[in-house]
């Protein structure tokens, strides 16, 4: 029932030229059976060198590429993973963080021929859609970026045995795999640096507190002050929620409450930059009157004047690690969840030291 056919049938598809050779074609040309051809394609060791060579040549000649759908149907693997962005649009816009992370994730996939399916969920409705998609097993696993405190999605997926890795420590459930940077220590270093510079009234603009990173950075801020024997003052803390606009407003409030403040730690560079704008507008000199440290070491830190001292996290490496963990977990579902925390590093520029 097969007979004459190679790369052509009656009304095959819209693609006229494209490589549509099948294993069948390859096998015939190589003078072996489908099974053997398939074995060669999948690097099975149980193939004689001669057969292997013949098949390889046939593959080359026909420009054969396996049909992923057919393979998936058989292997029950999609050879793709989902990267789910749970963050609302606003953050994605301003923050180069996500681009960096995607790059790292992609790099981590590079020698595995697993594809990256991008799934964005701006609201609960879209999130439900994404959940259904993941649940249906259309991807072999997923990396979840930015789940907030009250979001049960990770837990639900984990319970249904969907392999997942989170970006950032989840506030809720334990037992999940995640990759994070040492936000707390990064913040501690930043604020200790301000203390060491002789600053006495150090404020902070923190991120959305239902995010682990935001909470950890705030804790680090408090750690440093406590270490230095300062008394914590809640009125020196204001929410900027990782938004430049809200950070600007927060800065105004802080300045109003503490006209004498002489140090500021902002939980992101974009918030720091916005705060710097407000400080300059208010006639403060930076760093003479107010020393400022941000977080992330994004390009804006170098663009703004004065250039921004900040805390660097190895975003790309983190993305790569997330891929690595997920692939491992997909390969071996019994693999225990792992948590990986990357070190952060203080980068001192103009905004925090009087030269």
Partner DNA sequence: CTGAAAGCGCTAACAA
Partner DNA sequence: TTGTTAGCGCTTTCAG
Which of a second copy, DNA, none interacts with 1 (beta carbon under 5 to 8 A by kind)?
Answer: DNA
Question: Least distance from C-beta 16 to DNA, angstroms?
Answer: 14
Which of DNA, a second copy, none interacts with 100 (beta carbon under 5 to 8 A by kind)?
Answer: a second copy
Binding test (CB under 8 A) with a second copy, winner from 197, 220, 244, 319: 244
CA 162 to chain centre: 18
CA distances to 25, 70, 280 from 33, in Å = 10, 18, 76
Q: In this structure, are residues 90 and 243 in contact, taking their beta carbons and an 8 Å threshold?
A: yes
| Residue 76 found at the interface with a second copy (CB under 8 A) | yes
Helices (H), the chain: 23-30, 34-41, 49-62, 68-75, 89-94, 97-109, 124-135, 153-159, 183-196, 212-227, 244-257, 269-281, 300-303, 315-331
Our CB check for DNA shows the closer of 1 and 89 to be 1
Binding mask 71-100 for DNA (x = CB under 7 A): x-xxx-------------------------
Binding test (CB under 8 A) with a second copy, winner from 1, 3, 4, 15: 15
Question: Least distance from C-beta 30 to DNA, angstroms?
Answer: 9
Q: How many residues does the chain have?
A: 355
With tokens 């590429």, the residue in question is: 65
Question: Least distance from C-beta 349 to a second copy, angstroms?
Answer: 12
Helices (H), 168-243: 183-196, 212-227
Structural element, H or E, at residue 19: none
Residue 96 CB neighbours (<10 A): 14
Question: Least distance from C-beta 248 to a second copy, angstroms?
Answer: 9
Binding test (CB under 8 A) with a second copy, winner from 34, 68, 252, 328: 68
Which of a second copy, DNA, none interacts with 50 (beta carbon under 5 to 8 A by kind)?
Answer: DNA
With tokens 């660097």, the residue in question is: 312
> Strands 310-312, 345-347: parallel, antiparallel or unpaired by DSSP?
antiparallel
| Residue 67 found at the interface with DNA (CB under 7 A) | yes
Our CB check for DNA shows the closer of 139 and 211 to be 139
| Residue 93 found at the interface with a second copy (CB under 8 A) | yes
Answer positive or negative: Cα dihedral of 99, 156, 163, 178. Answer: positive
Question: Least distance from C-beta 313 to a second copy, angstroms?
Answer: 14
CA distances to 128, 132, 217, 342 from 311, in Å = 35, 38, 11, 13
Q: In this structure, are residues 207 and 242 in contact, taking their beta carbons and an 8 Å threshold?
A: yes
| Residue 6 found at the interface with a second copy (CB under 8 A) | no
d(CA 335, CA 338) in angstroms, rounded, equals: 9
| Residue 1 found at the interface with DNA (CB under 7 A) | yes
Which of DNA, a second copy, none interacts with 244 (beta carbon under 5 to 8 A by kind)?
Answer: a second copy
Please state whether the peptide bond connecting residue 108 to the residue before it is cis, i.e. omega within 30 degrees of 0.
no
- Tell me how many helices (H) and strands (E) the chain has: 14, 12
Question: Least distance from C-beta 316 to a second copy, angstroms?
Answer: 8
Answer positive or negative: Cα dihedral of 299, 303, 307, 308. Answer: negative
Binding mask 134-163 for a second copy (x = CB under 8 A): -xxxx---------------------xxx-
Binding site for a second copy (CB under 8 A): 12-20, 65, 67-70, 72-73, 76, 78, 80, 83, 89, 92-96, 98-100, 102-103, 106, 110, 115-120, 126, 132-133, 135-138, 160-162, 244-245, 270, 273-274, 276-277, 280-281, 298-300, 302-305, 307, 333
Binding site for DNA (CB under 7 A): 1, 9, 20, 22-24, 31-36, 38-39, 41-42, 45-48, 50-52, 64, 66-67, 70-71, 73-75
């Amino acid at each position: 029932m097969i007979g004459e056919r190679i790369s052509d049938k009656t009304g095959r598809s819209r693609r006229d030229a494209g490589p549509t050779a099948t294993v069948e074609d390859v096998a015939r040309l190589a003078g072996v059976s489908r099974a053997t051809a398939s074995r060669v394609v999948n690097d099975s060791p149980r193939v004689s060198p001669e057969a292997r060579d013949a098949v390889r040549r046939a593959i080359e000649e026909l420009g054969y590429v396996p049909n992923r759908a057919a393979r998936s149907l058989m292997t029950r693997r999609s050879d793709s993973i989902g990267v789910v962005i749970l963050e609302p649009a606003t953050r994605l816009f301003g923050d180069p963080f996500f681009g960096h992370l995607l790059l790292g994730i992609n790099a981590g996939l590079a020698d595995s021929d697993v594809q990256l399916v991008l799934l964005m969920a701006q609201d609960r409705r879209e999130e439900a859609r994404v959940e259904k998609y993941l649940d249906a097993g259309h991807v072999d696993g997923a990396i979840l970026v930015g789940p907030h405190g009250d979001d049960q999605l990770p837990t639900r997926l984990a319970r249904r045995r969907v392999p997942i890795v989170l970006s950032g420590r989840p506030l809720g459930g334990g037992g999940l795999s995640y990759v994070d940077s040492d936000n707390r220590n990064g913040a501690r270093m930043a604020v200790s640096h301000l203390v060491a510079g002789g600053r006495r009234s150090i404020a902070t603009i923190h991120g959305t507190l239902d995010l682990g990173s935001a909470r950890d950075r705030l804790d680090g801020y408090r750690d440093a002050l406590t270490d230095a024997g300062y008394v914590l003052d809640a009125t020196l803390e204001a929410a900027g929620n990782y938004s430049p606009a809200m950070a600007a407003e927060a800065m105004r409030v802080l300045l109003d409450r503490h006209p004498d403040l002489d140090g500021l730690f902002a939980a992101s560079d974009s918030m720091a930059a916005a705060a710097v704008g407000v400080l300059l507008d208010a006639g403060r000199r930076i760093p003479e009157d107010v020393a400022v440290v941000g977080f992330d070491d994004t390009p804006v830190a170098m663009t703004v004047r004065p250039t921004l001292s900040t805390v660097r996290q190895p975003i790309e490496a983190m993305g790569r690690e997330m891929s690595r963990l997920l692939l491992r977990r997909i390969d071996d579902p019994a693999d225990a969840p792992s948590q990986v925390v990357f070190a952060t590093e203080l980068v001192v520029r103009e905004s925090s030291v009087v030269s």
